[in-house]
Amino acid sequence: MLRLWGRTSSINVRKVIWTAQELDLTVQRTDAGGQFGLVREAEYLGHNPNGLVPLIEDDGYRLWESNVIVRYLCARYAHGGLYPDDLQARFIAEQWMDWQQTTFNPAGRDAFVQLIRTPAAERDEARIAHSVSATVPLLATLEAHLGKHAFMTGEQFSMADIPVGCEIHRWFGLPMQHPSLPNIERWFQSLCERTGARGVLDQTLS
């Protein structure tokens, strides 16, 4: 059984939940982080010194960092499926997973925090505007890519679609006007129809 520590309101925890569901893994999840605390306790920090979620334990093996966990689970339980056998396809997946974590997520973070987690009277409109303006060109990059491919690595769903899909779910969930992005919208709808994405991409942001 896979053990997972993390709250479902975390985008990084949702990546792991979705991956586990795609792989039909049984997961024992413990709420942690945010209002649930736990992550600053000595025992938790002994397993994840960052004091963040998610953290997993798989047959005694512990691992943190969400995209790394996604890679690990796919490599262990779906080699050749979600984790491509072909080296070049695998590193295209790695490329987009790193892009989500190092480029896309930081650009959109302030808009999410301000619009979803900050009371309306306390919102910083300048931070929202800056975050949106940083995100729009990245969406254009993704829109162009998905105009040529059904999924992030080509014609098959792979591990790369999970973190990028979670990021788009968060973007589409912001209470603001969204420009038309037909390729992204087509791709995202196909993700929403996956059984593995239930409880993840149909979740309201919080």
139 strand-pairing partners: none
Q: Rounded to whole angstroms, how far apart are CA atoms 29 and 117?
A: 23
| Residues of each domain in the chain carrying CATH 1.20.1050.10 | 87-197
Q: Rounded to whole angstroms, how far apart are CA atoms 160 and 103?
A: 15
The pLDDT score that the predictor gives to residue 98 is 98
The pLDDT score that the predictor gives to residue 80 is 79
The ranges of the chain with pLDDT < 50 are none
Q: Please provide residue 39's backbone torsions phi and psi, each rounded to the nearest 5 degrees.
A: -75, -15
The predicted-structure confidence for 91-132, as pLDDT tens digits, reads as follows: 999 999 999 999 999 999 999 999 999 999 999 999 999 999
* CATH of 87-197 given 3.30.750.24, 1.10.357.10, 1.20.1050.10, 3.40.50.720: 1.20.1050.10
Helix (H) / strand (E) element for 58: namely: strand 55-58
The pLDDT score that the predictor gives to residue 128 is 98
As a CATH number, domain 2-77 is 3.40.30.10
Could you tell me where the DSSP H helices lie in the chain? 11-22, 42-47, 66-77, 87-99, 105-116, 125-146, 161-172, 182-192
Look up the pTM and report it: 0.97
| Residues of each domain in the chain carrying CATH 3.40.30.10 | 2-77
